[in-house]
Amino acid sequence: MAGRVAFARPHSSALPHGIEEYIVHRVMQRVDLVLDMRLREAIATVVQEQTRSIVPRLREEVESVVRHAVYEAVADELSADRTPPL
């Protein structure tokens, strides 16, 4: 077939005993490190994007909670049956 390169697996007697397992182990370690780094980067990017998208909504909610807490505190203070301080 044109354009295809076939990689022949070396005959097992051409490799020293245990080298294939060693190479596979080393390759898997490298793949694991690269995947870990890239997945962390991808997750961090998604978390940053999601955080930016919810900040306005969170700000609105905090503002609403604070406003209602102040209204309730003022109303309680005004309705309290207290004698004014001297």
Residue type, 61: E
Residue 67 has pLDDT above 70, yes or no: yes
Distance CA(22)–CA(28), nearest Å, equals 10
Q: Determine contact, residues 11/19, Cβ cutoff 8 Å.
A: no
Residue 23 has pLDDT above 80, yes or no: yes
* Cα–Cα–Cα angle for 29, 25, 32, rounded to 5 degrees: 20
Place of tokens 């245990």: 18
6-10, 34-38, 41-45, 66-70: range with lowest mean pLDDT: 6-10
Q: Check residue 24 and give its pLDDT.
A: 94
